Chain A
Amino acid sequence: MAIGQFNLANRQRAARKLLITVAEWKEGTNTVREILGTRTEDSSIEYNADIETMTDIRGINYTDVNRTQPQQTFDPYLILGGSRLGAFLNDVRRRNAVTELNDFTIYIITAFVGTAGAYEAEKHDGCTIAYTAIGGDANVNMPIDVYLSNDGLDSNGKSTGAPIIGTVDKLSDDFVFSATTVG
């Protein structure tokens, strides 16, 4: 598969808003989505790579990346009117129903790759969103950590062992995700 090229002018920097994290979950029979990052000043996907380096008797280093455990923190994640995810997490919090935090689908949309109507994205199934605190000073803050699964489900619901690679048709939360490869 061809490598997607940046849709930016030569040497143009990609605005931070072009990297979008979207949470998707079920509420009853409804599928709900929320784009994360509202009122968050700084947030990055940390890959937490497990790296192993060994040196042979000639002094040459060999480095292996065994795995990554991607994680993204949103702090602050403010309690905001109209936030479906905030309401969902708060409901889980007060019931201490923490097992319900493990069944999110997370989309990472790289809007700086692709074309209008087909922005590159990846879909991780079986992800976890954990709240880490609730409180704050002037406004109520409930920071969250998003743990990406590095796994996807194919059309039969079977684990692919890797995120599903595809595109989204638009950058609002009602996008349609089209898989281009599975596994």
Chain B
Amino acid sequence: MSVDKNKAVINYLLQCQDIYNSPLYFNLIDATNNTIQILTTTEDKALSKPFVDGSVQKRYTFNLITFKSISDMELVKPMGTSISTDEYPNENVDELFAVQQLLDWVLEQDDLANYPDFGSDCIIDSIDTTTDYPRFDGINTEITPPLAMYSISIVIEYLDISKVIYNKQ
């Protein structure tokens, strides 16, 4: 029986406390501060890799878009030679770091070989992000108050063995 990969990904992401504690939307969104949106994308079938045994290497890709409140406060420049980020707290810097932690969580799961459950017809090889740092996608001014949007592109590589002619191995 085929597994709904979107639901599998949602269940998987809810293991992350930061995501679990945030309003989470799938494709459509009503954005407020800290809202996270799962945005599905499509992968060109030409990138799939067929093997001689009938199995196919495939990719499931999606974006995680995080909406964060913004600050128009100037960075406070440190005085003297002792420079610490704690000396000039800034909401924008802190929010980006929070999104970075989401990205780091994904990479940590790959190290732990903790993957979504795509069912017995799929063997997951890896979950990875396409960048080392979140992308800043700009300020969405259509929302009141305006929110910053940060995105992470995530790729799940898996082997689809549903068409293998013989025993799954």
Contact = CB atoms under 8 A, between A and B. Distances in A.
Interface of A: 15-20, 34-35, 37-43, 82-83, 111, 171-174
A38 B169 contact: yes
Contacts of A20: 53, 165-166
B169 A37 contact: no
- The residue in B50, B57, B159, B165 that gathers the most chain A C-beta atoms within 10 A of its C-beta is B165
B52 A172 contact: no
Contact of A171 (B50, B52, B55, B165): B165
A37 B53 contact: yes
Contacts of A171: 165-166
Nearest to B161: A38
A172 B167 contact: yes
B167 A17 contact: no
Interface residues of B, number: 15
Interface in B19-66: 49-55, 57
Contacts of B139: none
- The residue in B49, B52, B54, B169 that gathers the most chain A C-beta atoms within 10 A of its C-beta is B52
B164 interface: yes
A17 B159 contact: no
Given A35-B169, A173-B166, A173-B167, A17 B49 contact: no
A42 B166 contact: no
Contacts of B54: 15-17
B167 A37 contact: no
A37 B167 CA distance: 13
Contact of B165 (A34, A38, A42, A111): A111
